[in-house]
Structure 1
Amino acid sequence: MGFDYYIALDISRSAQDADIKKAYRRLALKNHWLNARDPGSAERFKQIAEAYDVLSDPIKKAIYDKFGEEGLKGGIPPEFSSQLTWTKGYVFHGDANKVFHEFFGGDNPYSDFYDAEGREVCLNFGGLRGRGIKKQDPPIERDLYLSLEDLFFGCTKKIKISRRVMNEDRFSSTIKDKILTIDVQPGWRQGTRITFEKEGDQGPNIIPADIIFIVKEKLHPRFRREDDNLFFVSSIPLGKALTCCTVEVRTLDDRLLNIPINDIVHPKYFKKVSGEGMPLASDPTKKGDLFILFDIQFPRHLTPPKKHLLKQALPM
């Protein structure tokens, strides 16, 4: 068993976020190498940093409170993995100075209290001002899965996020929900990025991260998309492939197209229907094309062509 995080910060298990921050501030300053005289302060400084890293994070804290250090560092039992987002074992990065820096801001929060030779300077006020260049957290990226219909017509998606928000005292924080609205435009492609600036967790010495949603296309039962074009596979018997026929295609906007095929259909044959693809993001009044490929159904006594021939029919 390792040390108890609550004992390390000298707080009770009922301590709130403000209590955790207050305890870390006090103990970190006491055990910092610029201030400490006890040889054991360096190890305590690291333990305090790890304790704060865990208890200041709602997810890590919840896992630690429920499963202890073994569950936190060894991973959540499988039967609980669907209920919590943290599924991997926690490993402290080991850089206590990084935690100290992110909490207070600046490379050396003690710079206001010591001169170039390390001598203490008397000031007319107490407490740290926490000066330093604020650093923005790295972007948070999430996939946004959309159907072809969503991307054909455009739609509005509302997504709820939970983030840490600073309280009025600018010291403590609270987890609050917020609804982000995404206006999906007709013709957006997979990989389109929608950025919500500075909507990540707030902190006293950090710039909140940007939240970025990346469009991913759901598989469609009838169509496959490539750029602004749509591909449709029509199964026809060999008899119709050798004679004229008509192919029906139900479009994304629920129209029924009757496409005449006046050629002999072979494995490499395809039919292009102009203007029946996806809307162009730059001009939704214009559309890409629809390509109809053919899966020829051969009688059982005939040998069908190789499957790869159908792939060769794709227009380049």
Structure 2
Amino acid sequence: MGVDYYSLLQVSRTATDDDLKKAYRKLAMKWHPDKNPTNKKQAEAKFKEISEAYEVLSDPQKRAIYDQYGEEGLKGQVPPPPDGSGVGGGGGATFFSSGGGPTSFRFNPRSADDIFAEFFGFSSGGGGGPAGMRTSSRSFGGGMFGGDDIFGSFGGDRTAMNAGGPRKAAPIERALPCSLEELYKGTTKKMKISREIADASGKTLPVEEILTIDIKPGWKKGTKITFPEKGNEQPNLIPSDLIFIIDEKPHSTFTRDGNDLVVTKKIPLAEALTGCTINLTTLDGRTLSIPINNVVHPDYEEVVRGEGMPLPKEPSRRGNLRIKFNIKFPARLNADQKSGIKRLLGSSY
């Protein structure tokens, strides 16, 4: 018999189509390589075996040959019947169609990823739609398994599946890099996507669309913008939601800390002790001149209220600008400088 496909799927030899689907769904989710990052090689082998078993047993023609001749029959190693009818060997198994005539059959297992994609309605890696927007979650940098249960992120998809209704494909996520200036002032971005849509007859054709994304002032890294059902259209499948996730580009002057902006300025020791003025250009192009009148010690911060990032829910209000300091000490002092400093500062200690 060779490989026991029924044992691999943990079903009986009388298993129905529904039994096979339930078994494959459970085992494919358990052994998918993306769910087993620390045991990937073994998981890939197991995932391939499970997929091949499901492909054979879910196809009545392949299952009939397997039940009669085993794995060897699928590979074309069936001996000719005793009465001489049919043709065995030669790389193709032979069986008889309902009309009594011989039909040549050759089993070429499909890719485990293709079987998984067909079953769940999306690709587990790299394939799918046309360039620019794939149905694969990996195409947009997001892992396929965001949690322990893939169906938990489908928005009630499990209920629809159990009820026999159309399933919704997993959401597609894509990073949307924005400069700090864009997140400060707000902006509009146009994104061109390519996807497939179905016509009235069910045939799919590629189309290009322009999506408009309004970036609001103060939005933070991780903010999500969702375009419902903008994935590829396929029969019996609700298209994926397309989700853009705000990412923040590094800035040459400022870093962001919540709603605050932080900048570090390098000043000499003399200015740290006697005071100075810090000149800055804001993210919206204004020039600020900030007098520093306090003695600047290594942990000192000058806080300018209301000059940080806009608050996302109240753009008229802003966080703070926090100025940190990197004090430049002299490399060496001569005798006169040392005595002068002692004379000036001695009484302060």
Pair in the same fold by TM > 0.5: yes
* CA shift for structure 1 position 36: 6.2
Q: Distance in 1 between matches of 2:291 and 2:127?
A: 62
- 2:114 is matched with which residue: 53, 58, 61? 53
Per-residue CA deviation, residues 155-211 of structure 1 (Å, 9 max, x unaligned), is 0011111212113311x2122222111000001011101111111111011111111
Relative to its length, the structure with more helix (as a share) is 2
CA contact (8 A) 1:33 1:41 kept: no
Q: Secondary structure at the match of 2:65?
A: coil
Q: Is the 8 A contact 1:196 1:210 kept in 2?
A: yes
Q: State yes or no: 1:167 paired with 2:199.
A: yes
- Specify every segment of 5 or more residues in structure 1 that has no aligned partner in the other structure, as ranges: 1-27, 63-84, 87-104, 108-130, 303-316
Alignment of 1:185-204 (within 5 A): 185-204=216-235
What is the deviation of 1:46?
Answer: 7.5
- Does the residue aligned with 2:284 lie in a helix, a strand or coil? coil
| Residues 1:181 and 1:241: Cα distance change in structure 2 (over 3 Å) | same
Query: d(CA) in 2 for partners of 1:52 and 1:260?
Result: 63
Choose the corresponding residue for 2:60, options 19, 23, 33.
33
Larger Rg: 2
Q: 1:52/1:277 Cα in 2 relative to 1: closer, same or farther (>3 Å)?
A: closer
Alpha-carbon offset, residue 245 of structure 1:
1.2
Q: 2:177 — aligned with what? A: 145
The CA distance in 2 between the partners of 1:290 and 1:60, in whole Å, is 46
Distance between the aligned counterparts of 2:297 and 2:247, measured in 1? 34
**Structure 2: how far apart are the matches of 1:52 and 1:268?**
56
Instruction: Name the SS of the counterpart of 1:177 in structure 2.
Output: strand
Amino acid at match of 1:244: G
**CA–CA distance in 2 between the matches of 1:61 and 1:140?**
12
TM-score computed with the length of structure 1 as normaliser = 0.59
Aligned equivalent of 1:206, options 219, 226, 237: 237
Overall identity of the aligned pairs, in %: 41
The RMSD of aligned alpha carbons is 3.6
Q: For residues 99-132 of structure 1, what are the alpha-carbon distances to aligned partners after superposition, in whole Å with 9 as ceiling and x for unaligned?
A: xxxxxx978xxxxxxxxxxxxxxxxxxxxxxx93
Corresponding residue number in structure 2 for 1:305 = none
Cα separation, partners in 2 of 1:174 and 1:51, compared to 1, 3 Å? farther
Q: Matches of 2:112 and 2:276 in 1, distance apart? A: 73
Q: Match for 1:298 among 325, 329, 338?
A: 329
Q: In the TM superposition, what are the counterparts of 1:94-243 in structure 2 within 5 Å?
A: 132-170=164-202, 172-243=203-274
Distance, in Å, in 2 between the alignment partners of 1:163 and 1:152 is 32
Matched, 1:247 2:308: no
Counterpart contact for 1:32–1:45, Cα < 8 Å? no
| Equivalent AA in structure 2 for residue 216 of structure 1 | D
> How many residue pairs align between the two structures?
211
Partner of 1:111: none
Q: Which letter maps to 1:188? A: W
Indicate conservation of the 8 Å contact 2:161/2:167, yes or no.
no
Instruction: Report the Cα distance in structure 1 between the residues aligned to 2:113 and 2:221, rounded to whole angstroms.
Output: 40
Alpha-carbon distance in 2 for matches of 1:175, 1:41: 43
How far did 1:35 drift? 9.0
